[in-house]
Amino acid sequence: MPELPEVETTRRLLEPHLLGRTLLRLEHADPQRYRRTELAEGRKVLSSHRRGKFILLGLEGGLEAVIHLGMTGGFRFAPHRHTRLTLHLGEGHLYYVDPRRFGRWWVVEAGDYREIGLLRRMGPEPLSEDFELERFRRALSRTQRKIKEVLLGQEAVAGVGNIYADESLWLSRIHPERPASSLEPEAVERLYAAIREVMARAVSAGGSTLSDASYQQPDGRPGYFQLEHNAYDRAGLPCNTPGCTGQIARIVVGGRGTHFCPECQR
């Protein structure tokens, strides 16, 4: 957390509060984690985009603020006890909160991602026209890594994290430990369609807010896609596939807790 749906929900809610506004001051006490933010001060926000799990703010003067929310990062419109950075906007403030402090900020020349390796090698956006079935098939055919690990790697497709990898693999009936290159063309097509469907539904629902409530929308509302989870965090519960008598199991793949149905995802 947060993954593509949570980051996109955050970006959309922030956009009307940032576009055309001048960043008067970025106040924080951690220049190693929030790098060169002083370069953004006094500059107007011209655009907002998302790339994978990154928020990209285009600034005056050819600069760009790159924000990665890490595991627990997010924004609030009101002060919060875990505020790590405060955006002074003249007619108000915006608060970046991050209880576990894994989030990062960079201010760079627009498009210069040399120090942000993941952003440079990231694959296509799953809800964009660039995410093509044949390109996805070629990416999977080149590796023997487990399919869950490939999805988490961000190079075959951007923005898919632990929750949405589990949900996509469940929907496409693929075992998370299968070598990516072993997937038949029909299985790759099912997974491709499942990723697009799961991501679209999750964005529409505002993302997933889990039991720790670490992710909330900037106005404090939760996401609601957790109400539609079929695999993630459902260990021991019945599989939702019609006619299936299996129960969701939990294993560890690539160091991440992984949920699947042993009956549907053989």
| Residue ranges at the known binding site for DNA | 82, 100
Of 127, 128, 124, residue with least CA distance to 200: 127
Residues annotated within a binding site: 82, 100
Catalytic annotation present for 234: no
Cα gap 84→34, rounded to integer Å: 9
Catalytic: which of 43, 53, 173, 234?
Answer: 53
**In the block, residue with structure tokens 């749906």:** 5
Catalytic: which of 12, 21, 44, 256?
Answer: 256
Of 11, 97, 123, 109, residue with least CA distance to 61: 109
Catalytic: which of 2, 124, 176, 218?
Answer: 2
Catalytic: which of 3, 8, 64, 167?
Answer: 3
Burial class (CB in 10 A: 0-12, 13-18, 19+), 142: exposed
Catalytic annotation present for 121: no
Catalytic annotation present for 155: no
Catalytic annotation present for 3: yes
Both tokens of residue 174? 């693929």
Active site (catalytic) residues: 2-3, 53, 256
